[in-house]
Structure 1
């Protein structure tokens, strides 16, 4: 039996036995150390420790904590009211408000499920009351929540940066316009469907400048979060890790003393939730880095690249094939483990065909977040269904068209690199 087949079989058996993916990876690299020449158990320990001993990774728990605080701190209500005033009275306005609110909240929380829960908890009931089909409503919110890990700050970008050695700041810059493209596609889709199905009662007040400034005054503290975080990073005032700490302090002050929706008694549960999520993310890192080293020693990236070259030398075709593979992976694995297992391999293949590593990082993340909406393991789908009080299968009629819209956005992002790289002329 070849070494590669033995490793695949080890990983598959561990997963079938119900072992957590992080432990399954650990078992796989142990088998690799026993069978691959040049990879010792000492190398495994050194590589694992070096992967976890990273200043960049410190940003993850703080961004998670900031998102949890803001989720409980009442920021979503102010954002929704502000978006409603901006959109005004038009067919499909409430659906468009949902998409825009998700986009703004994504720049605050950096999490897809958190965005779905925060915005969906308020707007799903409101959209149902406004005459929207409940399946359409939940599907739209689930799809819009996928912007959470794309628009910075993004935990997935941090994980990808750790795996590939790319600058987190560069990835954050690259994620802004792709997130806006996803939002624009969903807004157009919502508007077209709302006109066709006559969703919405058109009883919202028209745009009024006085209402705009009143809503802006209420929402300004929430809207300043992404400005402070991203402005500080891009302006060179602090690193992404330091920005995460600033975000936590700012979120606490705003939630406790300005909006006053967060209570001191809520903090222990927030810390527990943050610790649980952080532990889940970091459990993969050490084993995944060893797996990447193992694959490199076995020349897997080079072998796959040679195979693709023998099939085609077109970057367009290779990007299409990588998109298809990543979409399939995203349907069955959650994004963190997908990045840590496949990030190094995929980025090496893309680089061999001349794809900019930052551009490919955006492509990979967008692919994987689309998987957060798809059955059988799409967490956004389940969160939206839970918030909307419907069965996930009742969403399928509208969920797959929403996914198709996101795939259109993905293709635009894939084949127009300037969308990901254009801001570098300003901030790079």
Structure 2
């Protein structure tokens, strides 16, 4: 490793250790790397602009805005009512309803923190009222967050598709089975927890109550059908689907449910723009940093180092997954994807890993990192929503993490988990 590479590596860990914002750290190190390489400083501006120039990235603000509008327009609340009407009478029924609502909401928002915030704000108090410990309720809201990055559409899948130049639609499909497996595992935990705590299910909903819940929630249930059906029916691209999802959520919230007032729209737009600005700031600085380290051939050297550890593909897969989990737990997901994309794509090609399987593995590992203590972002969101300490949430989170790690293992070692559904769509 040359002098510039050493400075960049140590500088990154040093700045993160002292709490520097990731985007500031990456932007500063990009400028330092260009200066040390005696290159024109204008290259930094060119790289930053190049990092934001992909039209596929336009899907990000659309899905973020759709999530904001769904929460404010009452669609997420209606999803919970529909799920409760069908499974609320089962042991752990309210917890299972939370998982179901998180799965549907994740199929629209595409974001782990957004899913945790929307579901947690509705369900944590309700779960506590029905006898669940508040720490468990907050952990459950945290755990369903990654479903927003597995179940399509998924903002990280969009970003990885741009980086790897793979089909975003295929990547979306690759996350469906892992997401459903994780949701099923969470439902099992819900039943076991309820039985151990002696929590009874709600009274069984009558046929009339089920029909009422369906009528009230029909527009919320149609949202993923409109978005995903449009994508895979060839009606619009994933980028266009994001805008359609936002428009659909706004129309239903304002004119059908009337829970969303027109005066709320400016505030929701500002929230979505603020979140988009943060994400894009990270993307452009990470793109510049990735260009600098690529010019220093660091990805090639790291790839050679990893491949030199063993020639056994199974051990290499284990090592890659451990690396991704660690990075996802201590680093911003988007930055890690951009910085490590060259290394990961190179290793995947060397061991014959299907690019779609690799993309799903990367995104879902990083999604698990978002709920891994102590730095998982979704935990901070759940802590803010619930008022619980991260430590208390983390104790209840362990069974959910175990399920997610099992899913990660299946993705790595059973290719059909991620490739079966994309194969059907070809």
TM-score band by shorter chain is over 0.9
- For residue 60 of structure 1, report the CA deviation from its aligned partner: 1.1
Residue in structure 1 matched with residue 262 of structure 2 by the alignment: 264
Residue in structure 2 matched with residue 20 of structure 1 by the alignment: 21
Residue in structure 1 matched with residue 54 of structure 2 by the alignment: 54
- For residue 31 of structure 1, report the CA deviation from its aligned partner: 2.5
1:123-148 deviation line (CA, Å, top 9, x unaligned): 22222122212222211221112211
Cα distance in structure 1, aligned partners of 2:47 and 2:377:
31
3-state SS of the aligned residue for 1:104? helix
Cα distance in structure 2, aligned partners of 1:386 and 1:27:
30
Cα distance in structure 1, aligned partners of 2:248 and 2:305:
51
3-state SS of the aligned residue for 2:370? helix
Cα distance in structure 1, aligned partners of 2:381 and 2:54:
32
The change in CA–CA distance for 1:390 and 1:24 in structure 2 (over 3 A counts) is: closer
CA RMSD of aligned residues (A): 2.0
Contact 1:87 1:93 in 2 (8 A): yes
Cα distance in structure 1, aligned partners of 2:117 and 2:280:
24
Q: Compute the TM-score of the two structures, normalised by the length of structure 1.
A: 0.93
Cα distance in structure 1, aligned partners of 2:212 and 2:228:
25
- For residue 291 of structure 1, report the CA deviation from its aligned partner: 2.8
Residue in structure 1 matched with residue 142 of structure 2 by the alignment: 142
Cα distance in structure 2, aligned partners of 1:390 and 1:68:
24
- For residue 210 of structure 1, report the CA deviation from its aligned partner: 4.2
The worse-fitting range, judged by mean Cα deviation, of 243-252 and 109-118 is 109-118
Residue in structure 1 matched with residue 289 of structure 2 by the alignment: 291
Residue in structure 1 matched with residue 203 of structure 2 by the alignment: 204
- For residue 71 of structure 1, report the CA deviation from its aligned partner: 1.2
Q: Compute the TM-score of the two structures, normalised by the length of structure 2.
A: 0.93
3-state SS of the aligned residue for 1:284? helix
Residue in structure 1 matched with residue 221 of structure 2 by the alignment: 223
The worse-fitting range, judged by mean Cα deviation, of 299-308 and 259-268 is 299-308
Residue in structure 2 matched with residue 7 of structure 1 by the alignment: 8
* Aligned pairs, number: 425
Cα distance in structure 2, aligned partners of 1:336 and 1:358:
18
Q: How does 1:118-157 map to 2 (within 5 A)?
A: 118-157=118-157
The change in CA–CA distance for 1:383 and 1:23 in structure 2 (over 3 A counts) is: closer
Contact 2:329 2:374 in 1 (8 A): yes
Residue in structure 2 matched with residue 29 of structure 1 by the alignment: 30
Contact 2:307 2:347 in 1 (8 A): no
Cα distance in structure 1, aligned partners of 2:309 and 2:370:
31
The change in CA–CA distance for 1:25 and 1:225 in structure 2 (over 3 A counts) is: same
Cα distance in structure 2, aligned partners of 1:201 and 1:13:
51
Unpaired runs of 5+ in structure 1? none
Residue in structure 1 matched with residue 350 of structure 2 by the alignment: 352
Cα distance in structure 2, aligned partners of 1:159 and 1:11:
22
Contact 1:111 1:148 in 2 (8 A): yes
The change in CA–CA distance for 1:390 and 1:29 in structure 2 (over 3 A counts) is: closer
Cα distance in structure 2, aligned partners of 1:3 and 1:265:
52
3-state SS of the aligned residue for 1:373? coil
- For residue 17 of structure 1, report the CA deviation from its aligned partner: 5.7
Residue in structure 1 matched with residue 386 of structure 2 by the alignment: 388
- For residue 217 of structure 1, report the CA deviation from its aligned partner: 1.5
Which of 328, 333, 342 in structure 1 is aligned with 2:331?
Answer: 333
1:257-282 deviation line (CA, Å, top 9, x unaligned): 11111111111111111111111111
Cα distance in structure 1, aligned partners of 2:222 and 2:410:
29
1:280-313 deviation line (CA, Å, top 9, x unaligned): 1111223322333333333333322322332212
- For residue 178 of structure 1, report the CA deviation from its aligned partner: 1.4
Residue in structure 2 matched with residue 81 of structure 1 by the alignment: 81
Unpaired runs of 5+ in structure 2? none
Contact 1:161 1:168 in 2 (8 A): yes
Contact 1:11 1:27 in 2 (8 A): no
